[in-house]
A and B are shown apart, each in its own frame.
Chain A
């Protein structure tokens, strides 16, 4: 495959946080057991004036700060989310306008639970390597909704990451991608329903584990690579337990997977999850490092990528806020405020 990769990236995580204890207090949960079981302590909550569109715009603007390209040269924008503010009217057009990329480009919104963002990256890779466009922008962002009182409420969080895909001035090249997709109803939301539903324990082995395993294995086979050929790995992070388990099963060491895990401090940002994990790794990566990233979207599917960091990354460091910058800029809210911000109180 022709050389194609990441020209720049940007992230955005909302400022507010709610602790597991705060949620458990309301629903009678055992906070310590939940923290132990899910390995998560607090999650990111969007402000009352934030949504997937505002998060996508902020992440995209940060990506441009790093990538330093002329936004008018972006030929395609794909925003993947399961919480697009409109059911009909794309998030992507607002992003396009807000970064000054209009009008000569194509835009579409994607939905594939938590892997819609990586699907966008693959599309951009195709458009860029075929020379149909010069740069593509793929964004994964969500303001995830967990039903009040449901287990998912402890983890459903908000955040997003944007990636500019191109051929030149790459901070990291994508050497290969491999996907594994089946019709698996592990987690879904019907049109018009406010909250998703899931199959409980069915979301584990037949869904998350099967698809991440097969996608990652398939990628490594395609490359003729072994786990030790990678410096770091990052997976979709619905909680702190799953990514560590699948890393081990695939033959990776704890050292390879630990750095990319951020779900414990910001929760599961759904379409932003694996992409924010990747951003955290890139914030600290050295040229020459090889990273494996595999996303997972319920429904179900996984996209796996092998990414090699280039020298250029040193020149683009510090141009945009890092994942840690956003994680550390936080303000705690109580359950009532959290419910008000997320529109859970019926008005």
Chain B
């Protein structure tokens, strides 16, 4: 069974892309950090919600997945650089491997990440999809 408190602590960040900002140097961090690596003891950390828009820096299609993600393969994973600066690792949805491009604009959506078996907790969080011109 996966850790409940550990999963719960990150809910705000995983659901709403809440990261941190160091008011000393104005750098934004996601995933959240409670110590600014640049300012260290001079860090002035506050919560900061990211908008959820960014571009794809690199990607892969996972065919051999870990235990917890067995049924979902193949799925696309990417490193996305958010408009505010930080980079994160995420799954890309609503896109085929052929359509993936480095530099593609993407936006965050809310999806199921994984289930802790059939009787455990369900983990939700962010995934990203190509921005559709409406």
Contact = CB atoms under 8 A, between A and B. Distances in A.
Do A and B bind? yes
B113 A98 contact: no
A138 to B, nearest CB: 19
Contact of B16 (A48, A85, A98): A98
Given A86-B122, A98-B124, A51 B112 contact: yes
Interface residues of B, number: 19
A65 to B, nearest CB: 12
B46 interface: no
Contact of B112 (A50, A97, A100, A321): A50
Contacts of A325: 134
A49 B71 contact: no
Given A58-B109, A340-B71, 13 more contacts: A15-B94, A49-B93, A49-B127, A51-B112, A51-B122, A53-B112, A54-B110, A54-B112, A97-B16, A98-B124, A100-B16, A325-B134, A329-B132
Interface residues of A, number: 22
Given A53-B124, A321-B134, A329-B132, A48 B72 contact: yes
Interface in B85-125: 91, 93-94, 109-113, 122, 124
Contacts of B127: 49
Interface of A: 15, 47-51, 53-54, 57-58, 61, 85-86, 94, 97-98, 100, 321, 325, 329, 340, 347
A12 to B, nearest CB: 10
B11 interface: yes
Contacts of A329: 132
Nearest to A102: B12
Nearest to A100: B16
Contact of A49 (B113, B132, B134): B113
A97 B15 contact: yes
Nearest to A61: B110
B47 to A, nearest CB: 12
**A-B CB proximity, top 10 nearest:** A57-B110, A98-B15, A49-B111, A49-B112, A54-B111, A54-B110, A97-B15, A85-B122, A48-B72, A98-B110
Contact of A347 (B11, B71, B111, B112): B71
Contacts of B16: 97-98, 100
A21 to B, nearest CB: 23
